[in-house]
């Protein structure tokens, strides 16, 4: 740990995984029950937030020397941005600029 003091936290890996499970189940419930597009996007973002939380928690608690969890978090955020751009544009042809 270069430059950072060691801080003892009462929160462990199970706490973050339970929070991720709660967010994931809330997002999944929102995806399955809503018909509104804005609520659909918010539920999808909750799913991705839960995945990012679990990725970074596993990375920090199980292997702090590697950045695999952070890399997966960045990739999932980029996937969310691509999904939102695709959803806002309508279809993939418009997204790629080949639309009419």
- At 47-91, the pLDDT tens digits run 888 988 888 888 777 766 666 667 777 777 787 777 777 776 665
Domain range for residue 74?
A: 14-96
Show the tokens assigned to 87: 């959803």
CATH number at residue 22: 1.10.287.3510
Residue 4 placed within a domain: no
Show the tokens assigned to 65: 């020397």
Give the chain's domain count.
1
Are 59 and 28 in contact by the 8 Å Cβ rule? The answer is no
Residue 86 placed within a domain: yes
Residue 21 placed within a domain: yes
Residue 65 placed within a domain: yes
Residue 2 placed within a domain: no
- At 3-58, the pLDDT tens digits run 455 566 677 888 889 999 999 999 999 989 988 877 888 888 888 889 888 888 88
Query: For residue 87, what are the CA distances in angstroms to 12, 25, 90?
Result: 36, 22, 5
Residues 66 and 62: their CA atoms lie apart, in Å, by 9
Half-sphere exposure of 50 (CA within 13 A, CB side): 18
Task: Provide the whole-model pTM.
Answer: 0.66
Are 89 and 95 in contact by the 8 Å Cβ rule? The answer is yes
CB-count exposure of residue 90 (10 Å: 0-12, 13-18, 19+): exposed
Residue 40 placed within a domain: yes
Residue 49 placed within a domain: yes
């Amino acid at each position: 740990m270069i430059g950072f003091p060691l801080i003892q936290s009462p929160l462990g890996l199970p706490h973050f995984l339970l929070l991720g499970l709660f967010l994931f189940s809330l997002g999944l419930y929102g995806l399955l029950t809503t018909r509104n597009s804005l609520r659909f996007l918010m539920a999808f973002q909750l799913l991705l937030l839960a995945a990012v939380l679990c990725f970074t928690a596993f990375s920090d608690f199980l292997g702090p020397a590697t950045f695999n969890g952070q890399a997966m978090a960045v990739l999932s955020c980029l996937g969310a941005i691509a999904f939102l751009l695709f959803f806002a544009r309508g279809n993939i042809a418009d997204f790629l600029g080949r639309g009419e």
